Amino acid sequence: MRSDGQGVQALAGIKVLDLSRVLAGPWCTQILGDFGADILKVEPPGSGDDTRTWGPPNLPGEDGQDGVGESAYYLSCNRNKRSAVINLATQEGADLIRRLAAHADVVVENFKAGGLKKYGLAYEDLKRVNPRLVYCSITGFGQSGPNSDRPGYDFIAQAMGGMMSVTGEKDGPPTKPGVAMADLSTGMYAAVSILVALRHAERTGEGQHIDCSLFDTQITMLANQGLSYLVSGASPGRMGNTHPAVVPYQVFDASDGPVVVAVGNNTQFVALCSALGMDGFAQDARFLTNRLRVINREALVDALGDVIRKRTVAELVSTLSGRNVPCGPVNTVAQAFSEPMIAARGTVHHFVREDGVRIPSVSYPGALSRTPSRFSRMPPRLGEHTIEVLEDWLGIGRDEVEALMRSGAVTDRGTA
């Protein structure tokens, strides 16, 4: 299991004030939390993080009522955190955030550009109380530029950033991937940027502002497709499940379902032809190199398709894998989680709530030999740790907590 490591975790002692919600920011802070950072998730009064109600599916409520607990969406990106309800719109709430920031190593926020300035919680404000602070802002379009004042969701970034134009069937409509790749990628880049900035702060005592945007990340994540345009001047289009620069590298129809064959070099191509009884194609002048296979794509794919459709998926996977040809079935999500590798690699972790409800979580994918990820806290209920974290981070006594509650600045779980 990935969470079995002993000893001090790599990010133990790092305090993260998480003012983000939805996906990109929470995905970032969950990564930091998996390695021991103390994540304080600050949520607004009322329903808290928007994604708490983005269902179904939802967990059962604590009263046993079906589908009224936290949503699967929220659960996917909020483990290893504590939740406090703090109302930034009150003077007392904003003052409390400044006090917490003075003790934090990192702030992560995804308000609109300049959105925290009116509360006195922008980077320049918090830098004055904590010069070592690493302050990461995640927005749709960044802190500068002509679109900086616009709100942005993953869908908008994928559309404007070119991803949808290269996703989908050739003659079909622009299509987004089935998960929020702009959000998830931005969360990962934000986590990497924070670790870089923490290293700098460790050496120099100097914090900094990190400006991450969904649009910038989506442009970066075009990767080879983006460079293809910059090199050629031609905008790539949709190619369905084929690859623009590698052949054969696509979905084929076997006799009982789809199968992916991905041949990345000449050795693999020769092995593919041998496994399928098509040795003559390996010596065919049209297919000797990948460049020639791309040029003669249609003839090769048609011939392969005729042979592949006569065999089952299981037969093809067994035969091709035995020859070191990359291949695999096109699984449903249920089938993917049934793959033997899931149990062998400890990919799924289960928390158990006090009432016995099992809460699944998908593990951090990197298995570090000395400082592995751990799953210490289930995704928190709204305001579950308000009093606890104020006492822990600030040493606030019960009298002051009660005064803050009376002012409307904070809410604990009992009154959330």
Where in the sequence numbering do the catalytic residues fall? 183
Cα–Cα distance, 416 to 411 (Å, whole number): 6
Q: What is the DSSP code string of 196-221? A: HHHHHHHHHS--EEEEEEHHHHHHHT
Cα–Cα distance, 234 to 124 (Å, whole number): 43
SS3 36: coil
Q: Are strands 257-262 and 249-254 parallel, antiparallel or unpaired?
A: antiparallel
Cα–Cα distance, 45 to 407 (Å, whole number): 13
Tokens representing residue 209 in the block: 């502002």
Residues forming a β-bridge with 134: 106, 208
> Among 213, 210, 149, 204, which residue's Cα sits nearest to residue 16?
210
151: CB partners within 8 A, 6+ apart: 112, 140
